[in-house]
Homo-oligomer: A and B are copies of this chain.
Amino acid sequence: MNQDYIVPDNWSIIEEGFDVERVKSSESLFSIGNGAMGQRANFEEDYSADTFQGSYIAGIYYPDKTKVGWWKNGYPEYFAKVLNAPNWIGIGITVNGENLDLNRCKEVNHFRRELNMKEGWYNRSFEAVLQNGTAIAVNVTRFLSLVDDELGTIKYEITPLKGAAQITFNPYIDAGVTNEDTNWEEKFWQPVNVQHSGNAAYVTARTHKTHFDVATYMHNSIQLSGNTLHISPTTVNAGTDKVQFMYDVEAAQGQTATIIKLGGYTVSLNHDANNLVDAAKEVINTAHAKGYAALLNEQREAWAKIWEMADITIDGDVKAQQGIRFNIFQLNQTYLGKDPRLNIGPKGFTGEKYGGSTYWDTEAYCIPFYMATKDQQVARNLLTYRYEHLEKAIENAQKLGFTNGAALYPMVTMNGEECHNEWEITFEEIHRNGAIAFAIYNYHRFTGNYSYIPEKGLEVLIGIARFWQQRANLSSDKNQYMILGVTGPNEYENNINNNFYTNYIAKWCIEYTIAQIAKVKTDYTADYNRIMAKVNLNDAELQQWEKVASNMYFPYSEKHGVYLQQDGFLDKELIPVSELDRSQRPINQKWSWDKILRSPYIKQADVLQGFYFFEDHFTKEQLEKHFDFYEPLTVHESSLSPCVHSIQAAVLGRMEQAYTFYLRTSRLDLDDYNKEVEEGLHITSMAGTWMSIVEGFGGMRVKDDTLHFEPKIPKQWEGYSFKINFRNQILKVAVHAAATKFTLEGDKELTVFVNGKPVRVEPNALVTV
C-alpha cells in the first residue's frame, strides 16, 4: 500500500516526481482506453529501465497452448489470451545527437503525470538534462478518441532551455511485440504488409492461429512554435514489421518543436481484411482535416457526456472523490457497450494477467453500473454476449458429460471457450451459471424491458436450468437434491458439497426459468414456438426440473440459526479473522493451499452473495445473523469482497463498517493496497465501488418497477450525489446528512420511495426529503 503516491485531486490522477521504481505502477494507473483499444502509460521515447509495454485491442486474442502440471480430462487445450498489440505510440527522440532516455539523463526535474478524467487525456511533462548537457522541457499529451475509436493522438513538445538544439523525432510503428504473459514464448504476430507514403505509414500483421488482421498506422506532422512545418521525413526505415520515420527540427532556446502523431488500429473484426489500410487512411484524413485542437475538444465533449450520466460527487473527502471518479473513468475506458462481441476484462486494457476477458464479474458486478449509467442497449449488449456464446456453453457442458442442451458457461472466456484450467475452478465453480441467469432477471427488473427474454434470454435460461437439474443428484440418505463437488464464490474452499449459494441460485434459476417459459408461452407465442422447436423441452423434463428445485437441500444450523456455507462447515475451527496474527495475512500469500482450505476463512462474500442477490427473500434479522456469522470469518482477499459487505453493513445501519469497506474498494489501485498495481488495474471490482455508494449508502433498489432509496451518509462526508438512468429518465440523487434532494431530467413524473415513503418527483423540479 502506498498512500502518498498519487496527489489528491477531484478530477485528475497526478504523480509528481520521477521514480524508476514506480514506472510500471504508473504505467498501469495512467492507462488510457476508449472501449475499442487501450494502452498502458508507456513512454513514447526510448526507456532503458524496467517497463511493462502494453497496448491492447478489444476482441483481438490468441489461443495460447494450455500449460498444466498434471492433465485432467476436460481441460481446454488452448486458452484465449489478451494479446499485446503492435506499438503505435513510439517516438524516438534525439537531441543534439543524444538519445532521450529518462533512465540515462543527468537530471530529471519537475516530472509530472496527469490523467485528466474529466476531459479524457493523459499528460506527462518534465525537464531533463541529457548526458551531453542539453537541457530540454518536454510536454506530452495523449488521448484515445471516444468519437473515433480507431484513433489515438499524441502531441509531443520539446523546448530547448539553454541555447538552440537540433531535435530529431523518430516516430515508428512496430508489430514485433511479445506478451509478458505467455505459456510457451511463442510469437503471436505474423507480418503481412508494410506501406508508407509521405507522413503516413501502415504495418499490417496477422495473429497466428486466430488470423485477426490488424493494420497499425501513424501519421505525423511537425510544428515549430505552433507553426506547421511542411516537411517530409528525411529518412525512412521500413522492415517486415516496422516503419520508422525521421524528422529533423532546429529549435532555438525557448522555441517549442512539436510532433503530432496520429495512430491506432483498423482491424478485420470491423472491416474487410483487404481494406484495412484504406480504412486507416480514412481515419487519418478525417482526423487531419479536423486538426488536433478540434479532436481534443471532441474528446472533452464526449467525456463530458459520460460524466453527465455517470458522475458521482463526494463533498468533503477529496480522496474518496478521486477514488470513485477513477473507478467510473476506468470502467468507461474499458467498455462503452457499443459492441456485443466485447466484454469487460478484469484488467481492461491495463495488463495481460488472467488471460481471458470475461468472468462472472460482468454479470454480478458490472451490469448494475452499466444499466444505471448508460442507456439500456449497453446492458443488453452484455447479455447478448452470453447469448452468442450459448452454443459453446452447451459444448462445454457436453465435454463434462452433460446432455440435452445443458449449458455451462466458462469461468473465463474470450470467445465462449473456457480459458481456465484448474479443475476446482474450471469444472467446479459452476455458480457462474447462476449469475448469468440472474443478470437477465436483473436487467428486466431494472429496465422494465421484457423483450430480451423472449428474444434471446429464455434460451440461455433453459440451457442453464438444464445444467442445474442434471448437476444435482438425489441423496438417498436425505431424500433431497444435492449439488456435490463445487467451488463457491469463496474460492478458499474447493470441491465442497452443497454450497448454500450455489444450491440457492440453482433452485432459483430453475424456478425463474419455469416462470419465464410460462410467461413467454402466454405473451409471446411466436417466440415460444420458435424456441420450443429448437430446445425440445417436454413436460416430463419440466417436472424433473420442478422436482429438483422444490426439493433442493440447504445445509442449515439450528444452533446458529444460519444457513451453512457448505456441508460440514461447523467442523472447522471457527476462529475469527480478528484473532489471526497480522503476520499470517494475507493468507493466500502466507499459507499453503491445504491450510487455507481447511480454515474457516472466506475470500469474498459467499452465503452473503446470496443474501445480496436475493435480499428480499430474507428478513433483515436473517441478514444480520448471517452477516454477524460470516463477516468475522471473511478475509476479503478478493477485490470483489468489500463492496458487497459495504452494502450490507449500510443496510444494517453500520455506517462506520460500511465506510471502511468502501475505502478499501475505492482506492485499491490508487493506493496499491496489494502491491501489484504494476500488473494492471482491477477493473471489474471498480463497479463494486459504484454499487457501494448507490446501493449501499444511497440504498437504491428497484422493486415492482419503482425506485426505492434509503439514503445514509458516512460521517466523514458532507454530501454525495449520483445519477441513475431509470427507464430513460435521469434521476439525480444528492444526499446530505440533513436531507436528500432529487432532480429529474425527463418528461414524466416519477414516484420513488424514500425510506419506505412515496415521494413524487416532477421533471426539472428539485424535491427535498
Contacts and interface: CB of A to CB of B under 8 A. Distances in A.
Interface string A562-583: 0000011011111000000000
Contacts of A482: 571
A427 interface: yes
Among A68, A70, A568, A588, residue most surrounded by chain B Cβ atoms (within 10 Å): A568
B73 A591 contact: yes
Interface in A610-656: none
A486 to B, nearest CB: 9
A594 B28 CA distance: 37
A484 B567 contact: no
A195 interface: no
A573 B423 contact: no
A592 B67 contact: no
A559 B478 CA distance: 12
Contact of A400 (B74, B399, B592): B592
A745 interface: no
Contacts of A69: 66-69, 421-422
B73 A588 contact: yes
Interface residues of A, number: 49
A381 interface: no
A72 interface: yes
A187 interface: no
A70 B422 contact: yes
Report the copy number of this chain in the oligomer. Answer: 2
Contacts of A68: 67-69
Contacts of A598: 473, 484-485
Contacts of A497: 568, 571
B473 A73 contact: no
A741 interface: no
A595 interface: yes
Given A427-B592, A473-B572, A588-B73, A597 B67 contact: no
A597 B74 CA distance: 13
Max chain B Cβ within 10 angstroms of own Cβ: one of A496, A570, A571: A571
Interface in A481-507: 482, 484-485, 494-498
A498 B399 CA distance: 31
Contact of A72 (B401, B474, B593): B593
Interface string A70-107: 10111000000000000000000000000000000000
Nearest to A559: B477
Contact of A594 (B423, B476, B567, B570): B423
A586 to B, nearest CB: 11
A147 B572 CA distance: 57
Contacts of A477: 559, 570-571
Contacts of A591: 73, 401
Interface in A340-359: none
Given A66-B69, A475-B571, A476-B574, 9 more contacts: A72-B592, A73-B592, A74-B594, A474-B573, A484-B571, A485-B598, A495-B496, A497-B568, A567-B568
